[in-house]
Chains A and B, each alone.
Chain A
Amino acid sequence: MSALSERPAEPVVGRAVPHESAALHVTGQALYTDDLVGRTKDVLHAWPRQVMHAHARVTALRTEPAYAVPGVVRVLTAADVPGVNDAGVKHDEPLFPDEVMFYGHAVCWVLGETLEAARLGAEAIEVEVEPLPALVTVREAIAAGSFQGGQPHLERGDVEAGLAGAAHVFSGELEFAGQEHFYLETHCSLAHVDENGQVFVQSSTQHPSETQEIVAHVLGLTNSEVTVQCLRMGGGFGGKEMQPHGFAAIAALGATLTGRPVRLRLNRSQDMTMSGKRHGFHARWRVGFDESGCLQALDATLTSDGGWSLDLSEPVLARALCHVDNAYWIPNVRVNGRIAKTNKTSQTAFRGFGGPQGMLVIEDILGRCAPLLGVDAAELRRRNFYTAGGTTPYGQPVRHPERLATIWQKVLDASDFAARTSEIEAYNATHPHTKRGLAVTPVKFGISFNLTAFNQGGALVHVYKDGSVLINHGGTEMGQGLHTKMLQVAATTLGVPLHRVRLAPTRTDKVPNTSATAASSGADLNGAAVKNACEQIRGRLAQVAAERLGISPADVRFADGAVHGIAFASDRLAWEEVVKAAYFQRVQLWAAGFYRTEGLHWDSSRMRGEPFKYFAYGAAAAEVEVDGFTGAYRTRRVDIVHDVGDSLSPLVDLGQIEGGFVQGAGWLTLEDLRWEEREGPHHGRLATQAASTYKLPSFSEMPEVFNVTLLPNATEEGAVYGSKAVGEPPLMLAFSVREAIRQAAAAFGPPGLSVDLASPATPEAVYWAIEQARRSTEHGHVDEGAPGVLPDQPAADAPPMVPFSERVQRMMTRT
């Protein structure tokens, strides 16, 4: 067992404790960025001037009328930017654009004494535009050849030979929607200028260091002149990884120009119309199976809908390609990717980061092909699992594939799968108007940032003279329980009770150069860094205690607030006593911790390497009931077995699994981003831009019976205290719901029918799937044999995939 994964006796990690802020949450005392406004004097409020064209050139911008509105203090335009007029690092997303790239793009911002004044001021601004042709759908972009960024190409084996030798070849198409994050707290920043020009920005951001960098480059300052703090977020889900930067920069620019604090908080419709979402994708695929249903070859082209700027589209696409295998061994693979450039919001990170999109392609293929192969869908999936010695299409060995088989069997047992399958057959035979479906799907999800450099974490741990402990680390809290886990890690490493450790909010002047709290890596990276800092302090305290106990420092143990020797009969010192002694001996009682994930390498241009430290596994069995009159459905029961390693915090992990599952089910079955695709004055408008039209799962979508089990004895050697990341992987357990709906819809028709199901599978989409099943004895739109649907192959001049971050990394390591 590695030192990193080894747990001491009776560790604080592994205990089911509530969220560290739970008592503050429930009493309304927990503070979020916008809650600070009332505590801040003389705040100005910012409001955007959005232009309602999908694509247009700004020919005139007259701000004078805004100043005639009482209470308007300042209008911010491109001319005010002292540094770089860009909200990102790729120079493709101007903060104050002169070309409107999507319906609702903000061209300038108004600061007012009140929000009302700023709003009226923004309305008063006169904008003249020259409308330009717009591309709104991914299909339009494909037809027009409108792409951006690199076009990754992932290949192993010989796809053509694999297809030629396959007993069954199928091909088809799938287009599926993105997803709005709908964090309950919208984007918010509050900026002011401290003494000597030091800019301080409170921001709801998953990536304070990058927010700091963007604020600095917009203001023309060094990073050291800007501090960013994030108290906590009211949800992030990836939507606050890159998107907050521009908003923070606007607030900071306003604060530097007016000398007053500036608050920028988007309301819901602004947030939904201006900020990026999960990428929708289009896919064309060909697949070959042998006689027994084992995958022989997959040829696919995935086109993501990137929206107007590149944002995180390249790494999202890379992860999609790296997850098109999900849990399945495919000997011959060719997957091409490209990013459509459309006149929509700039699509961005969202829990799973392309992984769900890649996996949806293969799960849809299996769900549609199983009836054509005459193989039960659950059996088809199991038959194709990775086994010992398997490697992914990008060349990474699949470690612990036996966990997949174990989890699969456990979930079949826990859900009583076989018996319920028979019950459902009997139910369906006697119920003409409602049908049930039961499906089981697996998850294999790679953990680590694809880009190796991001896999580092930092922490700062202080032990004060009274023995109390204050920790700070580079990760942000968005509800995922990271801070809870970090407190447990620190208490475990220092051997003190949990209540002795406090945690201070994330800020860039405590721990610098942090990575985004993203890729499910928060606990892995920051936990190891916290542990490292605590170990440094513990090592120094062991010297002090060893002298007092008259033993070797190697034999000193720290547990539950006491310090003692390894022997049963050892004297025991109080933690506080050792700390006090150390102080008087002039021993350093604080430490900076650091961690870098070992053994990773990745080359995007070749799409080869070992980008992931390990894989997280899970499986879910879901039962749904579908109403034949309307297509409405409910989820009757869900059983999940999921691998979180040895859990750092079981209550937190359970919450991540359940919440991720329901969010995934929302993406696949309910949440419906509708953009106005018809030409006209509203072309490109997001039609579902409010909670009243964009429906998230509510209580009615909660599985009526919901059983979640953590895989026992699952120590992960390479991670802090044997745990595994949990933020993203459970989202993809929701494929089970989609496949169960497909099966229930198919049950309205003759046996063995392949049914197409749109995504999201809204009641309307399910109704049309039922109609397909009811009306015909024909399968859905899967072609059999050659040539079928041919995935587009990249053009000769397709740019290689070298994400910006990777280019910088290469440049740096060369010099």
Chain B
Amino acid sequence: MQSPAVTVNGRSLPLDGTAPSTTALDWLRAQGLVGCKEGCAEGECGACSVLVARPGRTTPTQWTALNACLVPIAAFAGQELVTAEGLGTPDALHPVQREMAERGGSQCGYCTPGFVCSMAAEYYRADRAPAAASDGHPGGGPDHLHGPNGFDLHALSGNLCRCTGYRPIRDAAFALGAPDDDDRLAARRSQPPPPAPATRVAADGAEFVRPAGLADALTLLADRPEALLAAGCTDWGVEVNLRGQRAPLVVAIDQLPELRGFDVTASAVEIGASLSLSEIEERLAGRLPLLDQVFPQFASRLIRNGATIGGNLGTGSPIGDTTPALLALEATVVLASVDGEREVPLADYFTGYRRSVRRADELIRAVRIPLPAAGLAAFHKVAKRRFDDISSVAVAFALDVRDGVVRRARIGLGGVAATPVRARATEDALTDQRWDADTVDRAAAVLATEGTPLDDHRSSAAYRSAMLGQALHRLFAENPTPQEVGA
């Protein structure tokens, strides 16, 4: 292995002597790149947003915005980062910077470098194309979240500003043109990103290791049961920053090629565990409407760019938003170890709060979702804030309705028990019943009693229960005569 280094704004900077737990944010600031700011240290505010060269779908490289506060800098060894300082200077502002500055997009300025990076990622999105004619939306785009230039405001959903009220930032984003021909970051997209090299960073008895491949990773897990698996670090980073957690050995599996597959057959979709949610969203391309509804509501673009589907299951959190949907889709989890693979139904995967059947020497290699999926699919997330909030309750429905009768019902719930659960009593109450108001009234009353919701800072138990029942009412109100496409 060569001595690890990270390329930042075109300069290669060595990682010598860096502690494995040092975040990219702290490391960049120690390099003097103080435009990268800490606002929350948990991936919620985006003040630390930076651009990373990552594989793209439409161009070999896609400039991808990530939260630098969550990821150890060691995970970027061999990678290319760009910060606000690298986009432009006060005398030669980048187009994104110019629009932000001139339109009043900054007040205190503390969140601004992060906004600039998130906005630049969307600016460079290769398939961003001017939208069809506006129907009177203020920004001139097809709706209030999309600009006439194709800019999708969801790209900024992980960035918080406490000063401006966002309108000038929106206007800056919607005013952006296409990159110039001589734009070096635009040109960079035509070459692939550097491959993630095998990496080992060690200091003070702690190690960060990026194995070269799956076999190496599994051997390491077999030898070192204390190893902590890390992919996008969107959960682990919070533990490190806010709860002072440290691990003797962190094993990065987010770039393992064997975990980045995506296969569709007639009977299943197999999704590599280390694909980010953004990548899955692109690759699914509408094949699973239920997941299409989940992704825009799952955290923010910044988080979805890092968070992986395997990581979302691996943490075992009862409030992860993919799990209820995957339960409703009857997904299975493919676990790999040096002894081989086994496939476990997701419904049997969780054993308790943040606990699962996965052994210490196993990792999640893939998630399999059987096809065809149910015809009536919906994901209802209830939270305080519409963008980037944690669910009070999440309900995923996958129903097959034929000839006006519910033939099959699968319902996944989040936020109402120590683990995500299936609403089996409600499924029974629906199955073989007419899809009508009476059935829905009866089944909604059952659904409102599922799980064991708690009172907490997100909501009361009474509200959670009410929301379960209301979810079915809403599903029926929105789909009184569902399209009958079930198998």
Contact = CB atoms under 8 A, between A and B. Distances in A.
A664 to B, nearest CB: 10
Nearest to B467: A630
Contacts of B110: 32, 183-185, 234-235, 479
B109 A699 contact: no
A764 to B, nearest CB: 5
B237 interface: no
Interface string B104-118: 111111111100100
B126 interface: no
A184 B162 contact: yes
B153 to A, nearest CB: 5
B107 A28 contact: no
B167 A702 contact: yes
A652 B103 CA distance: 10
A479 B109 contact: yes
B460 A234 contact: no
Interface stretch (B73-81, B88-96, B286-294, B327-335): B88-96
Interface stretch (A403-411, A540-548, A684-692, A805-813): A684-692
A705 interface: yes
B164 to A, nearest CB: 5
Interface string B451-480: 000001111100100110011011001000
Interface string A698-713: 1111111110000000
B160 A691 contact: yes
A697 B97 CA distance: 23
A433 interface: yes
Contacts of A27: 35, 84-85, 87-90, 93, 97, 113
22 contacts: A23-B101, A27-B97, A38-B30, A119-B244, A184-B160, A184-B162, A185-B37, A185-B108, A235-B110, A479-B109, A629-B474, A655-B107, A660-B165, A690-B40, A691-B40, A698-B388, A701-B385, A704-B144, A705-B138, A764-B384, A764-B463, A767-B466
Contacts of A35: 29, 34
A651 interface: yes
Given A232-B109, A237-B162, A18 B42 contact: no
Given A629-B471, A690-B42, A28 B104 contact: no
Contact of B108 (A18, A184, A658): A184
Contact of A661 (B40, B165, B390, B473): B165
A670 B93 CA distance: 36
A371 interface: no
Given A661-B165, A705-B138, A695 B385 contact: yes
B41 A233 contact: no
A692 B44 contact: yes
Contacts of A651: 104
B391 to A, nearest CB: 12
Nearest to B91: A23
Interface of B: 19, 29-30, 32-42, 44-45, 47, 83-85, 87-90, 93, 96-98, 100-113, 116, 137-138, 144-145, 153, 156-157, 159-168, 170, 238, 241-242, 244, 382-390, 392, 456-460, 463, 466-467, 470-471, 473-474, 477
Nearest to A480: B107
Interface string A493-511: 0000000000000000000
Contacts of B474: 433, 629-630
B106 A26 contact: yes
Contacts of A119: 244
Given A185-B108, A479-B109, A691-B45, A632 B37 contact: no
A672 interface: yes
Given A27-B89, A658-B168, A700 B157 contact: yes
A25 B106 contact: yes
Given A22-B106, A185-B108, A691-B39, A31 B85 contact: no
Given A26-B113, A696-B160, A764-B459, 12 more contacts: A26-B116, A29-B90, A181-B162, A184-B161, A267-B241, A481-B107, A659-B107, A659-B164, A692-B238, A698-B387, A700-B387, A764-B392
A762 to B, nearest CB: 5
Contact of A26 (B32, B101, B165, B241): B101
Contacts of A629: 470-471, 473-474, 477
Interface string A197-239: 0000000000000000000000000000000000011110100
Interface in A10-40: 18-19, 21-32, 34-35, 38
A125 to B, nearest CB: 15
Contacts of B392: 764
Contacts of A139: none
B44 A28 contact: no
Contacts of B45: 184, 691
A693 B32 contact: no
A698 B41 contact: no
B384 A672 contact: yes
Contacts of A692: 40, 42, 44, 238, 390
Interface string A762-790: 11100110000000000000000000000
A237 B137 CA distance: 32
Contacts of B144: 704-705
Interface in A614-643: 629-630, 632, 634
A29 B35 contact: yes
B30, B103, B470 interface centre (most CB from chain A within 10 Å): B470
> Dominant SS at the A interface?
loop
Contacts of B159: 698
Given A28-B84, A692-B390, A695-B384, A702 B170 contact: yes
B163 A24 contact: no
A465 interface: no
Nearest to B242: A269
Interface string A226-260: 00000011110100000000000000000000000
Nearest to B156: A699
A399 interface: no
A324 interface: no
A479 B242 contact: no
Nearest to B21: A116
Interface string A341-377: 0000000000000000000000000000000000000
Contact of A24 (B44, B107, B109, B386): B109
Contacts of A29: 35, 85, 89-90
A163 interface: no
A478 B108 contact: yes
B32 A38 contact: yes
Interface string A315-353: 000000000000000000000000000000000000000
A237 B108 CA distance: 11
B107 A19 contact: yes
B100 A26 contact: yes
A757 to B, nearest CB: 15
A191 interface: no
Given A183-B162, A699-B157, A28 B457 contact: no
A448 B159 CA distance: 34
A674 interface: yes
Contacts of A28: 33-36, 83-85, 113, 116
A460 interface: no
A287 interface: no
A699 B37 contact: no
B106 A268 contact: no
B166 A632 contact: no
A25, A674, A687, A691 interface centre (most CB from chain B within 10 Å): A25
Given A32-B110, A702-B167, A26 B97 contact: yes
A305 to B, nearest CB: 18
A268, A481, A651 interface centre (most CB from chain B within 10 Å): A268
In the A-B complex, list the 6 residue pairs whose CB atoms are closest, starting with the nearest: A28-B35, A479-B108, A234-B110, A25-B109, A662-B165, A691-B44
B108 A183 contact: yes
A773 to B, nearest CB: 15
B163 A479 contact: yes
A663 interface: yes
